[in-house]
Structure 1
Amino acid sequence: MSRNSVSAGGGDLPDTSRSSLPLPKREVLADSVYEAVKAMVMDHVIQPGARLGIEALSRTLGVSATPVREALARLEADDLVVKRSLSGYRATELLTRAGVEELFEMRLLLEPRAVALATERIEEAGLDRLEALADEMQALPEEGDTYADYGRFAALDQEFHDVLAVASGRTLLAAAVERLHSHLHLFRLSAIAGGSPATVQEHHRILRAVLRRGPRRAAEAMEEHLRLSLQRQLDRFASVAGADED
């Protein structure tokens, strides 16, 4: 993964960030600051484990400390930063291979059950949304190596799974799926070459099963998707390990 990583530990962030992050008017300032800091974390401009200084971020983005604090609180809810007593906010560490395997273990327990329930309960509005998400994902260009390139695909991917979880009618189950924040953590490792077309095809198989109101087929399609996605992630780790040995 080739990214220009710099530490955001108590000093200023790179001036190049300022020119690429134009901030809009007051009413959407908080969202803009959130997306700006999120992009820095996802792209490793702020390195995993590095401290996020509120004053440094404020200077870099040309805003007051208030929207920066709000952004960091939202990112803490996303599990992209962690707040520690006496040391402030730090970017969370990247998932390890074991962490990825554990994440998918949880997803395999939760999401096939969720989609089976959703198949029996989802309403027309939910089906329309799933179809729109699948179509938009298919229309997007192949993602690049920065959050600006793959961010939209990642958001659509997450929403596809969340819509199905919510449609299950099980509040705790849907909340558990959402709390995993799996797409943010996985895409933060870097985009996978060829991952988008495979994901789109697998989503369409899930969608067809849901449209046919087949709970078992939908659960099987979701399980297959998750196992294939896990294998793509493990292949990434193997590729990185092989490159380190060369």
Structure 2
Amino acid sequence: MAAIDGPRVQARSGKPKQLVVFLHGYGADGADLIEIGRQWRAFLPDADFVAPHAPERCAASPTGRQWFPLTMRDPEERWRGCVAARPTLDAFLDDELAKRGFDDRALALVGFSQGTMMALHTGLRRERAPRAILGYSGVYVLGPAQADEAPMAYEKPPAVLLAHGEEDEMIPVEALLMSANALADSGVPTQWHLSARLGHGIDETGLIHGALFLAQSFGVAVELRRR
């Protein structure tokens, strides 16, 4: 199992209390999302941000990375890919939390596209629930009926927000409602945000919604309103 790492942004306060991990999309790398961490320091001054590069080189983008291959020919490749990549991501999260003396209640996962698939799949199978999962332009990957990798039945599941572009040409917007319904069926209440006229990407409104969602999830929203 290959170790992974990537760019980092340290907590603005110098005394981290939370860890936000960005999971990039297919064909990108950690540098694609870490700038969001710099923008969000104003909302989450006590959060460390890290954006690991996925473990595999991407055949479709030689300079990019992938959490798992995508051929679009196999209806179960997303599921098998998430299952195969999960141990590597779990090990990274365990190590990053241990370095800081944190448990999963100090952890938020933020994914884009394939990274959202990984955030939801891995985050909902951690022994203890993360504080929050934020997914942009992705989908909650469902396994075959015989799959033995069921999500955990948490007493207190993570807060989940899914954001999607109304005109997403890569992962149709219908994936948003399908994912929200499937998560609800698993006992995970889900908020969602739809960005009008947006394709496969993240817009400024989505970034603000995401930042406020994480701040509220970590219990800093009231402090922000007072500023």
Query: Shorter-chain TM-score: what band?
Result: under 0.3
Return the structure number with greater strand share.
2
TM-score of the two chains, using structure 2 as the length reference: 0.27
Higher relative contact order (CA 8 A, sep 6+): 1
More helix by share: 1
Could you say which structure has the larger radius of gyration? 1
Query: TM-score scaled by structure 1?
Result: 0.25
